[in-house]
Copies of this chain bind each other. A is one copy, B any other.
Amino acid sequence: MDDISIVLCGEAGQGIQTVEKLFTKIVKKAGFNVFSTKEYMSRVRGGSNSTQIRISSKPVSAYIDRIDILIPLSDESLEHVKKRISKKTLIIGEDKYIKNSKTNNKIEIPITQLAKSIGNIIYSNTIAVGLLSSICGINKKILNNTIEEYFINKKKELVKNNIKAANKGYENCLEQINKDKIKTIISPPNKKNDNIILNGVETIGLGALAGGCNFISSYPMSPSTGLLTFLSKHSKEFNIIAEQAEDEISAINMVLGAWYVGARGMVTTSGGGYALMTEGVSLAGMIESPVVIHLGQRPAPATGLPTRTEQGDLEHAIYSSHGEFPKIIFAPGTLEDGFYLTQKAFNLADKYQIPVYILTDQYFIDSFYDIPKLDIKNINNINHFIKTDKDYKRYKITKNGISPRGIPGYGNGLVCIDSDEHDEEGRITENSDIRIKMVNKRLKKLSEIKKEIIPPELYGEKDYKILVIGWGSTYHIIREAIENISRKDIAFLYFKQVYPLHNETINYLNKAEKTIIVENNATSQFSKLIRQQTGYEIKNKILQYDGSPFSVETIIKEIQKMRES
């Protein structure tokens, strides 16, 4: 096997995240490619959460159902992942957690006892890291070095004990391997892996930094909070103002204030918080303010499933807010796209003076994998504001609808903006001729925007008969599924810009004999958008709305079903 899936399952607060972070570092160092993702309950302690870590000698970046190795860390673990356990699943762990498993393919390792022998049960996590390393045939040196690095700022004693723990886990497991109870089912590839490991939210955060973001005001809300945390963490280094607002309404209105004086601001939120921001988005439309909105989707309506994933806010993002004005919506499906699109978002928002969205979801935000270093050489930021002169008019009517944007305190003009309909100077008007001109001006920007829509990308056979359509975070899952199916007549069309739609869309669709849409929602919002824009109806729908991401297996199965029907 050159691709194994390890799943750790336990309670919130047990420290599975430490295992995830540490172990992915180790395997990457050993030359593996690695992917990890987690699902967790909306609670701080207890319950059942699980993390999948995929290790492979080639890039992996999608969630799969299959579990090769399961490490249950609580009473409920086996029950929690039972649908995913097969005969081939090797279950490793303490007697009390594995004893109810009906399979024979299990190994008892007294993790807690080993931890206690070192002095504290908190070492259980490192023991797990050790035993996993041993199964993956990882050199002990790499194990030890990485632990040392990881705990670099901690007390010496602690570092020592962690190394001890890792080794206990390692040895203990090795013993079992030597006894032939388990096999080293995967071995490190003979290559160096210079990739970096990032997760979705970090990639958005880095993209924001690269886009010149220097202001964020938001209100915590899963799964979007991580971005606020990321930018807060780096606020000193990058001269960022990162403010936790009293509510989402304040957050977006603050960000509009910041752009007004030339800052580059963004908000991060999820469905319910975004709903509260929609009046502010409409304000951005009217005053023609740039704003970047990171909308991390989760299952709704209302509070829904706060820590889970869904693609249910596409229509909400497109049509929310009163009145008519242009916007752009990106939905990154890869970490790279997350970075580049976010960086681009700031520049497009500034250029067109409109809201630009980064539409992600919990699955995207919480998934890690390794990618080549992001290339920032060709990245360009252009500040589109100008120095005003005395006769400056904020809403000057221009050919392309874009009025040069001045900011107060830079130049000799005054910058007057108004949420009412206004004339070129920004003063209230009810004159119907001016109203018409201003509506036209705002909508005219759309023609410019349409010139640089990012086209959908086609993967697979150019001469497809079956076309699978997806957007955003499902990208890698669908792609791996298509690669697995590996037949000549199938291709995958990936949209990273979901609004406005690219003109080529209809040509791609028309070429197919059968089209299949994949969406993590219940009503297939993207296919509705496609039909609204092109008239084309996608009849085959793979939809999932239980709060979990698609697995590669599900996509394969569903596509197979549909190609036969």
Contact = CB atoms under 8 A, between A and B. Distances in A.
B547 A430 contact: yes
Given A279-B272, A443-B523, A522-B324, A286 B305 contact: no
Q: Which 6 A-B pairs have the closest CB atoms?
A: A300-B323, A271-B322, A301-B323, A532-B532, A286-B302, A432-B546
B304 A324 contact: no
Nearest to A531: B532
Contacts of A548: 432
A316 interface: yes
Contacts of A249: 276
A545 interface: yes
Interface residues of A, number: 64
B316 A319 contact: yes
A458 interface: no
Contacts of A285: 301-302
A538 B293 CA distance: 33
Contact of A312 (B304, B324, B420): B324
A301 B319 contact: no
B299 A435 contact: yes
Interface string A303-339: 1111010001101101111111100000000000000
A68 to B, nearest CB: 22
A38 B462 CA distance: 60
Contacts of A430: 41-42, 47, 305, 308, 547
Given A278-B278, A300-B322, A535-B536, 5 more contacts: A285-B302, A299-B421, A324-B521, A421-B547, A439-B545
Nearest to A535: B535
Interface in A416-446: 418-421, 430, 432-433, 435-436, 439-440, 443
Contact of A282 (B300, B435, B528, B537): B300
B283 A302 contact: yes
Interface string A56-69: 00000000000000
A363 to B, nearest CB: 14
A303 B419 contact: yes
B308 A286 contact: no
A454 interface: no
Contacts of A259: none
Contacts of A536: 535
A287 interface: yes
Nearest to A271: B322
26 contacts: A42-B420, A270-B322, A272-B279, A272-B322, A275-B278, A275-B320, A275-B321, A275-B322, A282-B300, A282-B301, A285-B302, A286-B301, A300-B323, A300-B324, A302-B322, A302-B419, A303-B419, A303-B420, A304-B419, A305-B420, A313-B322, A313-B323, A324-B523, A324-B545, A529-B532, A531-B535
